[in-house]
Amino acid sequence: MASIQGNWADAYRDKWKWDKTTWGTHCVDCYPSNCPYHVYVRDGRVIREEPAGDFQTIEPGVPDMNPAGCQKGASWSQMLYGKERVLHPLRRAGERGEGRWERISWDEALTDIADAMLDAIEESGVESIVRIGTPAEGGTQSMALSGGVLDRIGVTSTDVQSEINDFNPGLYATFGRFDPAASNDDWFHSDLLLIWANNPAYSAIPFYHYVAEARYNGAEVVTIAPDYNPSAIHGDYFVPVRIGSDAALALSMCRVIVDEGLVNESFVREQTDLALLVRTDNARFLRQCDLEEGGSESIFHLFDQHSGRIVEAPRTLDLGALAPALDGSFRATLADGVEVEVAPAFTHLRHRLEDYSPEDASVMCGVHPENIRELARKVASRRTHILLGWTTGKAYHGDLMERSMCLLLALTGNWGKQGAGIRSWAVGMFDGQFILRDKPRSGQEATREIVAGQQAMIDAMLAEDPTATKEIIIAEMSYAGALPINAVPSAFFWYHHCGYREAWNNAGWGDPSMKRTFDEYVDEAVEKGWWQGSATQAAQAPPRVLFEIGGNLLRRQRGGQRMLLEHLWPKLRMIVSVDWRMSTTGLHSDIVLPAAQHYEKPNFPYTTPDVMNLTFSDRAVEPQGESRSEWQITLALAKKLTERAKARDLVEIRNGNGERVRLDRLYEEISFDGALADDDAVIDEIIRDSAVMGTIPADTTLESLREKGWVRFIDWGLSPMALAQASDLSPNETHSPFRWQTEKKEPFPTLTRRAQFYIDHEWFLEAGEELPVHKEAPAQGGDHPFQITSGHPRWSVNSMNSTSSIILGTIRGEPVAHINDGDAAARGIENGQSMRVFNDLASVVVQARVTPAVQPGQLVMYNGFEPYQFKGWQDFSNVEPGMVKWLHLAGGYGHLRYRALHWQPVPIDRAVRVDIERAS
């Protein structure tokens, strides 16, 4: 076989050899992750990794998902041994952020932390301990297991959704779920892919191929973006939109569809609220309570063309023999005998769309009227999937953009079938990790009891309302705070403790259509009880101890470094960072605890419908230095907390809800008397529990996954985002969400039980946003000529890989911002030179990348770089005011209520205004 000989050739052959392989995968935050890798180990060292490439074909005629990986995955082993690794517990020996450390023992570190926690509890209550709700590395260890002790004693956890803001408020407002997540192979079924506010060539490297392959299969690919981004280059059409004008474009396409008679009327009648009657006098839906004393507020009405009468709308999507009118004006007699005019919401929509003729919209969005018409006709005639990214949710009026996109799909019948729909993200199905804390004892018998209890509760609630679904019931439990996710919406924490109140009240940076101050809206929202106890809880407890486990708050938070270091940090007596690498947050912490890296512990990334597999990552090598898995850190902290609590005779405390929490048996409780103290034991327990819960095959165990590496899910389980998929989980079909709506006529979990485009909440009416509308982005940061757009970088999963020396070698070795060539020339800035980016808030220096691919007036700053990669550590978060949209404080309305990971104010960073000059 080996025809060539010589030492040199043998050296290469030898270089490739290994002793053993284990299964490995990485963090979820590149989304969807779950790429199965083989990790190659030699002489006790991980030498490299490579995709397993062993996915089978799911649906005949659809390409398989292999090989699934990327350049970050291909160099994860390099970070294992990188210089950014933290290998020992460290205590700050200088000022915060100085980078002067004292190496201490685990015992010392945990003692310091436990004492600080107990001080805080005694002084200000356990809610003064804050766990930042970070997706961290998005794994079972760092998310589910690391919370063991903190969640149990009732610390304040900020909601991960607002921390990261990968929320799609417009999808949520429309569907009562923000998280349709087709499996990536479903893209192949599309006839028209609209890559919109998204750059999958960067953000979905393992799965972008489905776009290219769908195109080869006959689909057209259209990219709608301000800049000619790397996903646009392989499309058929590039539609450059003015920054922030996407709603105008979508609404104009809707207008064309309506004008040209292309509306899929039966779909609109069945799936949406557009046939529901709205009162002309007050712009509110006609409710049962309008018509009869003591009537329901959540029964709505249609005008049935067959009977010529106003009838109650069914609480499911099954219209039976009804033929609801979409147009017309009708009379209804109210309970008090007064007669009012009512008209279907569709009539109001027609009126709204009058503002969006292609010619008018062209002025708003910069797209040629004929292009708008052509695009509209394409959408109306083809199976269309909007490949939405997570940029819209980070735009001030991103909810309006999303609602407009959903409307476009509604009018054309484009959801609930393969190859159609709109995309966000979802996690779920690996349900064992969610019930661990609720189990009275270890073992699967306890799991079966819990499952039976849950089923009985669901059955009882379904018996009460047979038109409901399991999803609706779980959502209701979540609204009531009954699910084991202990979160408060971060916005209130920021408002009260982190200095954001001033920015949010800055009229110049907020929505010009706000009729009152931000403070007034906050007060009203709290007064009306729209935010339950969560708002007051955050307001009352002064933050004293902060945990950031695997995340990087000071990199991630909009406006974060400036705001948090100035306002929050001085209030904190102890800041703990748990991480395998030294982040900017780590540098500003009091104690850094070294976590095991991905190849040093058994773990799973969060699981998603995009890939539909449970993907195992094993301990290829022992944790380096003194690093430990998050589970071991949790258990050690539990032990220490009990020991120190006993020493000060503080064995029982009260949490924020006034419930008693005992501190004297924490380790025993969390580890099930030591039965699950071992990493393998707890991971095996979670796997077996998931099997009992029916989401993975019954014979799945840690051992079977060590053998096979991954397993396809067989059912959704009970987590909200999994149920939101609302389609059968088929073993041999791609997954397309919402098929239970189109095929089984199950209701949406919204107020009206339909896809809801008309929102008659008083604040939405006040804002003029009862229907989708285009609004210009406010001048966040001041009146300056450039707008910053951002996005997930190609080269890093958040900041995780941004300091990897090998990855830095594939870019310019430092942060760059992309500026249009004409803009750069006008300012005398040459490619590679430093430029100063500034606004009313701050000034940042960054290297310029000059390119005609960027729109004039746009500055693209891909995120992910550590602040400490910028001069003076001044990164782009410094020029972001970190606004939230006031309207997202609205509540008390059907699905517009807070539940963990869902409806809440989320931070904005798109279209921040800056000016730019050449740096001296």
Partner 1 sequence: MGTITESKRQLAWVFDLNKCIGCQTCSVACKVLWPQQDPGTEQMWWMTVNTKPGRGTPRDWEAMGGGYDAHGKLVLGKVPTPEEIGGGWDFNYDEVLRGGRGSDVHLHKTSGAKSWGMNWDEDEGAGEFPNAYYFYLPRLCNHCTRPACVEACPKDAIFKREEDGLVLRDEDRCEGAQRCSSACPYKKIYFNSARGVSQHCIGCFPRIEQRVAPACVRQCPGRAAFIGFLDDEDSAVAKLVKKWKVALPLHPESGTEPNVYYVPPLSPAPLREDGSFDESGDRIPPSYLESLFGPGVHAVLKSLRAELDKKRRGLDSEVLDTLILYRWKDALGHLDRDPAEIVWN
Residues 363-402, interacting with partner 1 (CB under 8 A): 366-368, 370-371, 374
* By CB under 8 A, residue 44 contacts partner 1: no
**How are the residues of the chain apportioned to helix, strand and coil, as percentages rounded to the nearest 5?**
35, 15, 45
φ/ψ of 304, rounded to 5, equals -85, 120
- Nearer to partner 1 by Cβ, of 2 and 321: the residue is 2
Q: Which of residues 860-879 bind partner 1 (CB under 8 A)?
A: 866, 868-873
What's the Rg (C-alpha) of the chain?
A: 27
Least separation in angstroms between residue 865's CB and partner 1 is: 9
Separation between Cα atoms, residue 362 and residue 389, nearest integer Å: 23
- Indicate which single residue of 851, 894, 915, 919 sits in contact with partner 1 (rule: CB under 8 A): 851
Residue 316: CB atoms within 10 Å: 19
Q: Which of residues 610-629 bind partner 1 (CB under 8 A)?
A: none
Please check whether residue 884 is in contact with residue 875, taking contact to mean a CB–CB distance below 8 angstroms: no
- Nearer to partner 1 by Cβ, of 332 and 565: the residue is 565
Least separation in angstroms between residue 354's CB and partner 1 is: 23
Separation between Cα atoms, residue 214 and residue 191, nearest integer Å: 8
Least separation in angstroms between residue 109's CB and partner 1 is: 17
- Indicate which single residue of 45, 53, 319, 334 sits in contact with partner 1 (rule: CB under 8 A): 53
- Nearer to partner 1 by Cβ, of 208 and 710: the residue is 208
Separation between Cα atoms, residue 199 and residue 864, nearest integer Å: 15
- Indicate which single residue of 632, 750, 820, 839 sits in contact with partner 1 (rule: CB under 8 A): 820
Least separation in angstroms between residue 37's CB and partner 1 is: 10
Residue 143: CB atoms within 10 Å: 24
Q: Which of residues 823-842 bind partner 1 (CB under 8 A)?
A: 831-832
* By CB under 8 A, residue 102 contacts partner 1: no
Least separation in angstroms between residue 867's CB and partner 1 is: 8
Please check whether residue 546 is in contact with residue 572, taking contact to mean a CB–CB distance below 8 angstroms: yes
- Indicate which single residue of 45, 78, 542, 730 sits in contact with partner 1 (rule: CB under 8 A): 78
Least separation in angstroms between residue 455's CB and partner 1 is: 40
- Indicate which single residue of 75, 128, 589, 790 sits in contact with partner 1 (rule: CB under 8 A): 75
* By CB under 8 A, residue 536 contacts partner 1: no
* By CB under 8 A, residue 814 contacts partner 1: yes
- Nearer to partner 1 by Cβ, of 49 and 402: the residue is 49
DSSP 8-state symbol, 869: G
* By CB under 8 A, residue 654 contacts partner 1: no
Write out the H or E segment, with its range, that includes residue 843.
Answer: strand 843-851
H-only helix segments in 106-155 = 106-124, 148-153
Please check whether residue 492 is in contact with residue 539, taking contact to mean a CB–CB distance below 8 angstroms: yes
* By CB under 8 A, residue 920 contacts partner 1: no
* By CB under 8 A, residue 554 contacts partner 1: no
* By CB under 8 A, residue 218 contacts partner 1: yes
49 bridge partner residues? 39
Separation between Cα atoms, residue 913 and residue 920, nearest integer Å: 22
Please check whether residue 888 is in contact with residue 763, taking contact to mean a CB–CB distance below 8 angstroms: no
* By CB under 8 A, residue 360 contacts partner 1: no
- Nearer to partner 1 by Cβ, of 46 and 145: the residue is 46
* By CB under 8 A, residue 849 contacts partner 1: yes
SS3 (DSSP) at 480: coil
- Indicate which single residue of 45, 67, 259, 694 sits in contact with partner 1 (rule: CB under 8 A): 67
- Nearer to partner 1 by Cβ, of 84 and 669: the residue is 84
Residue with tokens 């059907």: 894
- Nearer to partner 1 by Cβ, of 76 and 500: the residue is 76
- List Cα–Cα distances, 215 to 50, 240, 387, 735, in angstroms: 28, 20, 14, 19
The number of angstroms, rounded, from the C-alpha of 586 to the middle of its chain's C-alpha atoms is: 23
Least separation in angstroms between residue 46's CB and partner 1 is: 11
- Nearer to partner 1 by Cβ, of 554 and 682: the residue is 554
Largest CA distance in the chain: 101
* Closest by Cα among 629, 496, 622 to 571: 496
- Indicate which single residue of 156, 607, 803, 904 sits in contact with partner 1 (rule: CB under 8 A): 803
* Binding residues for partner 1, total number by CB under 8 A: 117
- Nearer to partner 1 by Cβ, of 22 and 134: the residue is 22
* By CB under 8 A, residue 336 contacts partner 1: no
Residue with tokens 């950014």: 84
Q: Terminus-to-terminus CA distance in the chain, angstroms?
A: 62
Total length of the chain:
920
* Closest by Cα among 409, 470, 273, 416 to 742: 416
* By CB under 8 A, residue 885 contacts partner 1: no
- Indicate which single residue of 45, 88, 91, 215 sits in contact with partner 1 (rule: CB under 8 A): 215
- Indicate which single residue of 24, 32, 89, 97 sits in contact with partner 1 (rule: CB under 8 A): 97
Which stretch, 229-237, 389-397, 428-436, 886-894, contacts partner 1 (CB under 8 A)? 229-237
244 bridge partner residues? none
Please check whether residue 752 is in contact with residue 276, taking contact to mean a CB–CB distance below 8 angstroms: yes
* By CB under 8 A, residue 259 contacts partner 1: no
* By CB under 8 A, residue 677 contacts partner 1: no
Which stretch, 50-58, 145-153, 346-354, 881-889, contacts partner 1 (CB under 8 A)? 50-58
For 633-745, where are the E strands, in sequence order? 652-654, 660-662, 710-712
- Indicate which single residue of 33, 142, 161, 223 sits in contact with partner 1 (rule: CB under 8 A): 223
Please check whether residue 514 is in contact with residue 886, taking contact to mean a CB–CB distance below 8 angstroms: yes
* By CB under 8 A, residue 15 contacts partner 1: yes
- Nearer to partner 1 by Cβ, of 26 and 397: the residue is 26
Torsion of CA 825, 826, 828, 832, to 10 degrees: -40
* By CB under 8 A, residue 153 contacts partner 1: no
Which stretch, 215-223, 341-349, 566-574, 766-774, contacts partner 1 (CB under 8 A)? 215-223
Q: Which of residues 779-798 bind partner 1 (CB under 8 A)?
A: 794-795
* Closest by Cα among 353, 383, 418, 411 to 194: 383
* By CB under 8 A, residue 238 contacts partner 1: yes
Write out the H or E segment, with its range, that includes residue 576.
Answer: strand 574-579
Please state whether beta strands 339-344 and 330-333 pair in parallel, antiparallel, or not at all (unpaired): antiparallel
Q: What angle, rounded to 10 degrees, do the helices at 246-259 and 358-365 form?
A: 170
- Indicate which single residue of 289, 323, 677, 808 sits in contact with partner 1 (rule: CB under 8 A): 808
Site string for partner 1, 187-206 (x = CB under 8 A): --------------x---xx
- Indicate which single residue of 243, 526, 582, 683 sits in contact with partner 1 (rule: CB under 8 A): 582
Please check whether residue 756 is in contact with residue 273, taking contact to mean a CB–CB distance below 8 angstroms: yes
